Amino acid sequence: MKNYHLWNPCTDVEDIAEMVDIGPICIAGGKGVYVYNRQGKRYLNAGGSLWNVAVGHGRQELCDAASEQMQKLAYASCHEQTNDPAMKLAEKLCSMSGNYYDMAYFASNGADAVETAIKTSRQYFRQHSDKTFHDKYKIISFEGCYHGASYGAISTSTDPVDEEMYGPLLDGFLKVKPPFAYHGAYGTTEQTECEKRCLEAVRKLISDENSNTIAAFIAEPVMGCAGVIPFSDEFFVSLIRLLHENHILFIADEVTTGFGRTGRMFVSEAWEERPDMMCLSKGLISGYLPLSAMLATEKVFRNFRGKGKRLEHGYTASGHPVCCAVALKNIEIIEQEELCRNSAEVGEYLFNKLSELKSIRPAIGDLRGRGLMIGIELVDPDDKTPLKADDTFKIMMDTAMLGVLMYYDKNILGLFPPLILTKEQADEIVSVLEKTLDISKSGLRKRRMRMMKILSERMLRQKEGK
Ligand SMILES: Cc1ncc(COP(=O)(O)O)c(C=O)c1O
């Protein structure tokens, strides 16, 4: 395409530029769980865009909230100032946690919230009344985790591209293998045993590294990018207990799982032993504007009270009044329309339907998830080895051509639809998957050929200006 100047993130820009008018590449509109391309073709947004459109597209209430707030006050800083929507949203988030959290810090993206939590944990110990804690700076995370694209966040993950392209990454980041039993982590495929062994590995790491050097452990309650991997509540309770015994803070990254995605408002709200900080973003504002939050308990904030102890970390958009006003309305919709309950109910329905599909589609190796956060791990039907990323990509393209958009990475298809999804729409997703997952090896080859033919013909037509 001529005059294409958009540098897309994580994208081969040349490909996109060639395919702007093909299928769902350029999204021009959205309503409810559906999005539309420039030609008006409808797609069920089962990937929820970037997993974030909790209340669905085209909500007039959210447009009105933004417009009203913009007319009243488009912007005010939260640096040594404050504004009503930011104060109201902070109060609302703390009250949603049953006032377990006491303070809310606002930023724009999930990575900002993570960065804020990491810096907070280091400063917390640096100005602790107990001087033996002043050298606590290391951060533990799970191998394969994803906490965002900033340097602090990529230093928590183990993506070789990050090290290769942007290295050296930051010092002081420790990794531990997550208890992912399906892939036989810690030498077992039994989930409870796997979690037990993981706890032992964390205990050993803490002792090897010396707990007086470790500030925090950050984890996603359900690992998203790693392939939608949930762990038991009991595991997290034991993990946090272990950390607290060693004076290590726990940061729950609920950027993806928060606001009903898993059928609970927050996964960690049900844990007997709770996190010290929680990062939120996606469902907080359903993608209508950029916003994230980092919530901290009074125990954490206590170390920031008093002269010279403030958090020296801020963004121009921290506590942006328009974003906060829209988030308040978004949360009101989630509560009034009982979207957590819907996520749990329709999520269970969808999961059960997918389980039935698994029995007739051997390409489904494993199904995982909670609520409307579901991962479908694809395997070669013959030898059960992970399906190649290329083949998974082709399946994802096929589902798109049949009108359902899904997230994909390596051999995983991910479902993170808007939380307003109905059972009928869940059936639509399953029926498209039933068609596209019929993959004997020759089926795959035929599909690939067909896709390549269609794409190359369209690209040719586009180039010829037809
Ligand atoms: C668990 C988790 N944390 C943090 C992030 C980063 O969020 P953002 O892309 O808004 O910076 C993501 C993004 O997908 C995520 O899944």
Give 163-223 as a DSSP string: HHHH-S--SSEEEE----GGGTGGG---HHHHHHHHHHHHHHHHHHH-GGGEEEEEE-SEE
Cα gap 421→254, rounded to integer Å: 21
Place of tokens 């909500």: 59
Tell me: do 130 and 75 sit in the same domain: yes
- Residue closest via CA to ligand 1's atom 13 equals 148
What is the Å distance from ligand 1's center to 43 Cα? Answer: 24
Is the C-beta atom of 118 inside 6 A of ligand 1? no
Tell me: do 238 and 353 sit in the same domain: no
- The residue from 299, 317, 336 where one domain ends is 336
**Test site for ligand 1: of 256, 268, 323, 407, most ligand atoms within 8 A of the Cβ:** 256
Cα gap 30→34, rounded to integer Å: 6
Tell me: do 320 and 379 sit in the same domain: no
Domain assignment present for residue 6? The answer is: no
Least Cα distance to 397 among 21, 144, 24, 98 occurs for 24
- The residue from 336, 358, 384 where one domain ends is 336
Residue 135 CA: distances (Å) to CA of 122, 125, 166, 192, 312: 9, 7, 27, 34, 19
Q: What parts of the chain have a pLDDT lower than 50?
A: none
Domain assignment present for residue 8? The answer is: no
Tell me: do 242 and 104 sit in the same domain: yes
Cα gap 125→188, rounded to integer Å: 37
Residue 437 CB-density burial (10 A; 0-12 exposed, 13-18 middle, 19+ buried): buried
Domain ranges, residue 27: 13-55+339-461
Tell me: do 149 and 208 sit in the same domain: yes
What's the pLDDT at 464? 66
Is the C-beta atom of 220 inside 6 A of ligand 1? yes
Cα gap 327→280, rounded to integer Å: 12
What's the pLDDT at 15? 84
Is the C-beta atom of 145 inside 6 A of ligand 1? no
Tell me: do 165 and 312 sit in the same domain: yes
- The residue from 310, 336, 362 where one domain ends is 336
Query: Which CATH number belongs to the domain containing residue 82 in this structure?
Result: 3.40.640.10
pTM: 0.95
What's the pLDDT at 460? 67
Residues 6+ apart with CB under 8 A from 119: 152, 311, 313
The predicted-structure confidence for 96-154, as pLDDT tens digits, reads as follows 999 999 999 999 999 999 999 999 999 999 999 999 999 999 999 999 999 999 999 99
Tell me: do 44 and 83 sit in the same domain: no
Asked whether the beta carbons of 440 and 380 are under 8 A apart, the reply is: no
Residue 240 CA: distances (Å) to CA of 135, 172, 236: 21, 20, 6
Tell me: do 50 and 82 sit in the same domain: no
Count up the domains in the chain and report the number.
Answer: 2
